[in-house]
Amino acid sequence: MEQQEKKSYFRGMMDKIVTVANMEVFPSSRPVPESRTQDAEVSGETPGEPELQKKPVLNPFGVVDLFGKLKLGLQKTKEGLVGRIDTLLLGKKTIDADTFEELEEILITSDIGVKTTVELIRTLEQRLGRNELKDGEALRAALKEEILARLLAHHSALDITNRKPFVLLVIGVNGVGKTTTIGKLASRFSASGHKVLLAAADTFRAAAAEQLIVWGTRSGVDVIRHKEGADPSAVVFDACKAAVARDVDILIIDTAGRLHTKVNLMEEMKKIRRVIDREISGAPHETLLVLDAATGQNATSQARLFKEAAGVTGLVLTKLDGTAKGGIVVAVSHEFALPVRYIGVGEAIEDLRDFDPQEFTDALFQT
Ligand SMILES: Nc1nc2c(ncn2[C@@H]2O[C@H](COP(=O)(O)OP(=O)(O)O)[C@@H](O)[C@H]2O)c(=O)[nH]1
Ligand SMILES: [Mg+2]
C-alpha cells in the first residue's frame, strides 16, 4: 500500500517535471539552429525564410511607392473586375436592363458574393431611377461609391493600446497565412515600440513553431513554445502567464487550423479561448480570422464557420497578389459585418497593409 502511494507520488513528480520541460521560451536573442530553419523548409508547406528581398516599387522620386505596390498587388483583381466593368461601361451613353444584367454577372464572377452583388445592383437601379446615373461613366463612379460605402460601414483599425497585455488570437484553416501574418505583425508592432510576445500554439508540427521563431528572431521578439504534439491550451496558458509577468504590450497567439474534423477544431478553439479568458479576464481582445483571398468562395464558408464558433472580431485577407478573386474582401466584410483589419499583397513585411477602404477602392478603380 505504502509502496503504491510512493509510486503515484513519484509519478506525479515526474509529470510535473515533464510538463515544465515541455515548455520552452525561445528568446529572440538565441540563434536559430541551422537544422531548424531547414526543417521548416523541407516540409514544403512553410518556408522558414519568406522572401524579403523583392524589388521595391519606387515612385519618380526614388521613394518606395506603397500605393503603387498595392496597385500592383491588386493587378489581377483590377483586370478581372474593373477591367471588365470598363469594357462594359466606358463610352456607354445609355444604361438599360442588359447593362445591369452584365454588371451583375461581372460582380458575381469576381467573388463579390451573391448577397452583396444583389444589394449593389438594387441600389444602383434605384439611383438610375432617380436619374442620378446619366451614362456608363456615372454608373462606374456610383459602383465605386457603393462598394466603398459598404467597406467603410464595417471598417475600424485594430487598436491595441487600450488593453495591456492586449491578446490577439489568430485563427484560420491550414495554409492561409496565419504564421506569416503574425510574423509581419510582430515585426511591425515591435518596430513601433511595443513589447511583443508570441505563442506557438500550433503544436502539430515542430516546423510551425520554428517558422514563428525565425520571425521572432528577426524582429527581436520572444516565442513561447512547447514540444511538438503538446496541448495548444497549455502553450496558451504559459504564454498568458509570461505576458503578464513580463509586462508585454501585445501577446499574439498562433493556432493550428488542421484538426481532423471541424467539430474538433472548433472545440479546440473554444478551449483555447476559455484558458485565455481565465488567465487574462476579457481576453482575447481580438480574434483575427485569416482567409486566403485566392480561395474565393471557400473563404466565405470559412468565415461563416469560424464566426459562429470562434467569436471572430476582425479579418485578414492574404494573398491578394496573384489572384483575380479580390472581390472577396468586399463579400466577407459586408456579409459578416466584420472589419477587414489587414490585407496581404505579397510576402514582404510591408506587403501586410493596414486595410484602408478608400485606398483599396482607389487602387482598384484608378485607371
Ligand atoms: N503571395 C503571398 N503569399 C503569402 C501571403 N501571406 C502568406 N503567404 C504565403 O502563404 C504560405 C502559407 O503561409 P503560413 O503563414 O505558413 O500559413 P498558416 O498555415 O496559416 O500559418 C507561405 O508560403 C506564405 O509565405 C501573401 O499575402 N501573399
Ligand atoms: Mg502556421
Most informative mutation of 173, 180, 355 for ligand 1 (most atoms within 8 A of CB) = 180
Q: Domain segments of the chain: what residues?
A: 40-45+158-365, 69-154
Q: What is the pLDDT of residues 211-257, one digit of tens each?
A: 999 999 999 999 999 999 999 999 999 999 999 999 999 999 999 98
Q: How far is the CA of 346 from the centre of ligand 1 (A)?
A: 9
Angle made by CA atoms 181, 186, 187, in degrees to the nearest 5:
105
In the chain, beta strands by DSSP E: 24-26, 166-171, 196-201, 222-225, 250-255, 286-292, 314-318, 340-344, 352-354
| pLDDT computed for residue 260 by the predictor | 65
CB atoms within 10 A of CB 326: 30
- Identify the residue whose C-alpha is closest to ligand 1 atom 17: 177
Nearest ligand for residue 171 CA: 1
- Exposed, middle or buried: residue 171 (CB in 10 Å: 0-12, 13-18, 19+)? buried
Second-level CATH architecture of 40-45+158-365: 3-Layer(aba) Sandwich (3.40)
Task: Give the helix/strand (H/E) hosting 266.
Answer: helix 262-279
Give pLDDT tens digits for 46-92. Answer: 334 444 445 667 777 777 788 999 999 999 999 999 999 999 999 99
- pLDDT band of residue 36 (cuts 50, 70, 90) is very low
Share of the chain above pLDDT 70, in %: 84
Question: Considering the chain, what is the average pLDDT of its residues?
Answer: 87
Partnered with residue 292 across adjacent β-strands are 318
Nearest Cα residue to atom 16 of ligand 1: 46
CB-defined site of ligand 1, < 6 Å: 46-47, 50, 172, 174-180, 318-319, 321-322, 344-347, 351
Task: Report which ligand 1 atom has the smallest distance to the Cα of 254.
Answer: 21
What's the pLDDT band for 4 if we cut at 50, 70, 90?
low
**307 CA distance to ligand 2 centroid (A)?**
20
Note the pTM of the prediction, 2 decimals. 0.86
**Ligand 1 atom at minimal distance to the Cα of residue 175:** 19
69-154 is classed CATH 1.20.120.530? no
Ligand 1 atom closest to Cα of residue 322 = 1
